Structure 1
Amino acid sequence: MKSLIYGYGITGKSFERYLKKKKVAYDIFDQNIPEYSIKLDLNNYKNILCSPGINADEFDHLQASNKVLTDIDIFFEEDNSIKIGITGTNGKSTTCFHLAQLLKQEFGVNLIGNFGNPVLDDINNGNEYSIIELSSFQLHKMKKNKLDFGVLLNIEPDHLDYHKDFLSYKAAKERILSANKSSQENDPYLLFEWITKRKCKKTKLKNLPYRYQFISKNIINDSKSTNTSSLKYAISNANMFFQDDYILICCGDPKKENFPKLEISGPAKILIYGNHAKQIDACISHPNKNLFDDANLLLEYLQNKSIFSNILFSPGFPSGLDYKNFEERGDDFNNLIYNLKK
């Protein structure tokens, strides 16, 4: 019987590459892609290979068939590397990236999952360790935790549009603690020692772009800020660094946290732009706010006001209808600043 790829995004396409290598016939379903949107009879398939972005209710419906597998399930069953899973509301990509740098000084390392390559692209490629960034979606959908090491960094409300409430989100995140060994440590050096049983010499670690990144001495690009806890963290740091003399720029879709209410103090002014500007405005309490339909109008405002002072770009929400992802958003902000300097 054929396999069914359910969802044809990044993970779905990695399923396709995997099945082609295995010489397994398959069909594709994705309700958002017209050519693959025709409903199929699930009974006609040996298994259903489900992408992490499929919503929880739809996933529960698929689960009734007892045929559902995720890429994480397959990787756990087939890959022979030592598997380190890392999750948390904030900081998981940076922790994965830093730990990978330390391990790569001595070992072959895969940096995969929600950050890096899809896991199926690196099955049994000869590397000794696999560092897997795991989202709450992936943890919710995996059948069994077969990690050698599981790391839970922190938990704050997030993805409530998927999980419906904080307790369900928390339960999904905490599934990582059922690994063979688990920790809540966030220091990459201490994680290295925990995993390898030996100390690691200190080294200058590279940071990922758009994580509270200074693009000049007075402008911070924190495009990776995709939730309110990361926004609060950025504001706290900016308040100390800029002494409350700065502009905060926000954008994104507040739906995933059920439109949270925020009282913000510190920035002298908040500029909000994009397709979701009015929704963000309703969420944020601050005496000095301006709204713009898009980044071009924001740029025009900054140019007309001759504003080129301390700026924190920390969106606080996922990209929504404005951008494909936080990387594109970060690039766009850098271009905006470049045009402002002209």
Structure 2
Amino acid sequence: MHNTSFDTQYQDKAVAVIGFGVTGQACVKFMLARGANVTLFDSKYDDLLDKQIDDPLLVQVKLARFDESSEFEGFHLVLVSPGVNTQKNAIQRAIKLGLPLVSDIELFARHNTTPTIGITGSNGKSTVVDMLNTGLSKEGLKVAVGGNFGNSVLELLDEQYDVIVLELSSFQLELTFSLKLSVAAILNVSEDHIDRHGDLLSYARAKQGIYKHADVCIFNRDDVLTAIPPEALPESKSQGVDDSRSQRLFSFGKTAPLACSQAVELAIFENAEGLYINNAKILKYEAIAHLAKHNVLNLQVALLCAKAILKDDNAFKKCTMSLMTYRGLAHRFSLVRQTTLANGMQTQWINDSKATNPGAAIAAINCINENDNLVLLVGGDSKGTDLSELKSLISSRVNLLLSMGKDARRFAGCCANTEFVASMESAVNAAKQYVETCTTNSVVLLSPACASMDMFKNYQHRGEVFEQAVNAQEFS
């Protein structure tokens, strides 16, 4: 059990910050501004030492090497960046000493007074956050987004907002204990980051921590791992949960809600006539017919969040209509190019580089017309996830599989027509050669189901390289 008790007066207190990425830098700035004595621990100690004299931030801190021998005894607080594995021996020793180890999100939680929405899940988080930013901003609210998307959460404390929307990862949530949310939502839970969390249930439990201090909890009724655990419900007094609030439950999903589900106050669902909240139609089917299946679910969550935040029915209706023009984020099932062969056959080239786990790739494949030839580009670092469900879908839906990167061979045997390629350019060339032989329409889909850092800077870089390779092709 982690110690989560610490004094929020930091003047002259010894504070350790582990990691100097975006999160670590924000933590250092936050603590220095409040008079703390900061020691920065980083595995790139030698590089930072060389830069220290010229860096206005680094010159104000003490530098220390972060490795298995690092010691944290005597620190008032240890701030851990999300990329740092808490299973490392040095971190575990700090926990045994009873030191408070927290995320930047927990630090934000201790100082935030603005109504906040938290979104987590294996897939779709960024899209829902962006949808909410779009819809709520058009209603005249001053909206800030942060966490795993946009700005560091600590930077959001410096200005006044009407609402803050956070994308929260399992890494951030596992060291967050007192985040009070106006709305908390888990979109889905599928195999991801198993190399870090150990198993699917531990990963799910990290996600479920988002509900603990939320006023409104939104879960996916088709995904049991998004359910609110008993200890997060207000009536569980024995768990020490703040039960002075009345927690409201909303649900979304592909299936219709059960009529007997009395505990759920609002349920959103789709049928052949449109989108409904309980018995009230909020959108005609024609208004959502253009959306990919997974984006209909993302829209459901965004609308439930807006319903919880916007008390005025007219404001909610305007927000709903504004989301009908939402066009999505880059690298998330985005059309790069549509090409036409001399025989009239068309090929769509789709960049879904953000699909860094099997669940995301499965969602993307299920959006493709079953009558189209499907060329799928996969591979990278699979993070120890179970690929069996994805492999089964590939075997039934994919006409050509192009696999690359560190774990390329993990995809062997799941498609009769498989090629292992050394680069994105080689993959795009192979895809082009294949679709030029097809006598029906085709889709070339980059949906890797893996992380990107084995070959690229990040998923954005991977998507950009794909788009460049596609746009460089000449078609007859």
Fold conserved (TM > 0.5)?
yes
User: What is residue 361 of structure 2 aligned with on the other side?
Assistant: 231
- Which of these residues, 84, 87, 98, is aligned with residue 57 of structure 1? 87
Amino acid at match of 2:217: S
- Which of these residues, 207, 224, 227, is aligned with residue 328 of structure 2? 207
TM-score w.r.t. the length of structure 1 is 0.91
Q: 1:306 to 1:135 in 2, by over 3 A?
A: closer
Is the 2:337–2:470 contact (alpha carbons within 8 Å) kept by the matching residues of 1?
Answer: no
User: What is residue 117 of structure 1 aligned with on the other side?
Assistant: 151
Equivalents in 2 of 1:306, 1:236: separation in Å? 20
User: What is residue 100 of structure 1 aligned with on the other side?
Assistant: 133
Query: 64-73 vs 128-137, which deviates more?
Result: 64-73
Q: 1:18 to 1:260 in 2, by over 3 A?
A: farther
User: What is residue 74 of structure 1 aligned with on the other side?
Assistant: 107
Structure 1 unmatched runs, 5+: none
Deviations 1:37-76 (A, max 9, x none): 2555312422111111221313444333323232111111
The reply on whether 1:310 has 2:440 as its aligned counterpart is no
Q: 1:268 to 1:253 in 2, by over 3 A?
A: same
Is the 2:431–2:444 contact (alpha carbons within 8 Å) kept by the matching residues of 1?
Answer: no
Equivalents in 2 of 1:69, 1:165: separation in Å? 22
What is the deviation of 1:299?
Answer: 4.5
The reply on whether 1:196 has 2:313 as its aligned counterpart is no
What is the deviation of 1:152?
Answer: 1.4
TM-score w.r.t. the length of structure 2 is 0.66
Is the 1:222–1:330 contact (alpha carbons within 8 Å) kept by the matching residues of 2?
Answer: yes
User: What is residue 39 of structure 2 aligned with on the other side?
Assistant: 27
The reply on whether 1:162 has 2:196 as its aligned counterpart is yes
Query: 158-167 vs 182-191, which deviates more?
Result: 182-191
Is the 2:428–2:466 contact (alpha carbons within 8 Å) kept by the matching residues of 1?
Answer: no
Q: 1:133 to 1:60 in 2, by over 3 A?
A: farther
What is the deviation of 1:316?
Answer: 1.2
Q: 1:215 to 1:304 in 2, by over 3 A?
A: closer
Please tell me the root mean square deviation across aligned C-alpha atoms, in Å. Answer: 2.2
What is the deviation of 1:98?
Answer: 0.2
Deviations 1:216-273 (A, max 9, x none): 2311111111111111111111143xx2313111121112415656221222111112
Is the 1:292–1:298 contact (alpha carbons within 8 Å) kept by the matching residues of 2?
Answer: yes
Q: Which has the higher contact order (CA 8 A, sep 6+)?
A: 1
- Which of these residues, 278, 300, 304, is aligned with residue 409 of structure 2? 278
Equivalents in 2 of 1:206, 1:305: separation in Å? 30
Is the 1:247–1:310 contact (alpha carbons within 8 Å) kept by the matching residues of 2?
Answer: yes
User: What is residue 75 of structure 2 aligned with on the other side?
Assistant: 45
Query: 196-205 vs 303-312, which deviates more?
Result: 303-312
User: What is residue 3 of structure 1 aligned with on the other side?
Assistant: 15
Amino acid at match of 1:128: D
Query: 179-188 vs 136-145, which deviates more?
Result: 179-188
Equivalents in 2 of 1:33, 1:51: separation in Å? 15
Higher Cα Rg, which structure: 2
Count of equivalent residues? 338
Equivalents in 1 of 2:41, 2:436: separation in Å? 49
Equivalents in 1 of 2:362, 2:156: separation in Å? 36
User: What is residue 294 of structure 1 aligned with on the other side?
Assistant: 423
Deviations 1:91-135 (A, max 9, x none): 111011101111112211110001111101111411121101111
Q: 1:15 to 1:306 in 2, by over 3 A?
A: same
User: What is residue 465 of structure 2 aligned with on the other side?
Assistant: 332
- Which of these residues, 298, 307, 319, is aligned with residue 452 of structure 2? 319
Is the 2:76–2:99 contact (alpha carbons within 8 Å) kept by the matching residues of 1?
Answer: no
What is the deviation of 1:197?
Answer: 2.2
Amino acid at match of 1:155: V
- Which of these residues, 164, 180, 183, is aligned with residue 146 of structure 1? 180
Query: 220-229 vs 190-199, which deviates more?
Result: 190-199
Amino acid at match of 1:99: L
Equivalents in 2 of 1:288, 1:33: separation in Å? 47
The reply on whether 1:180 has 2:308 as its aligned counterpart is no
Equivalents in 2 of 1:338, 1:61: separation in Å? 51
Is the 2:398–2:415 contact (alpha carbons within 8 Å) kept by the matching residues of 1?
Answer: no
Equivalents in 2 of 1:333, 1:302: separation in Å? 12
Deviations 1:11-51 (A, max 9, x none): 11111221232232211112244344255531242211111
Is the 1:238–1:312 contact (alpha carbons within 8 Å) kept by the matching residues of 2?
Answer: no
User: What is residue 18 of structure 1 aligned with on the other side?
Assistant: 30
Equivalents in 1 of 2:383, 2:120: separation in Å? 22
Query: 144-153 vs 225-234, which deviates more?
Result: 144-153
Equivalents in 2 of 1:286, 1:304: separation in Å? 18
Is the 1:109–1:129 contact (alpha carbons within 8 Å) kept by the matching residues of 2?
Answer: yes
Equivalents in 1 of 2:147, 2:176: separation in Å? 13
User: What is residue 372 of structure 2 aligned with on the other side?
Assistant: 244
Amino acid at match of 1:138: Q
Is the 2:425–2:466 contact (alpha carbons within 8 Å) kept by the matching residues of 1?
Answer: no
Is the 1:83–1:132 contact (alpha carbons within 8 Å) kept by the matching residues of 2?
Answer: yes
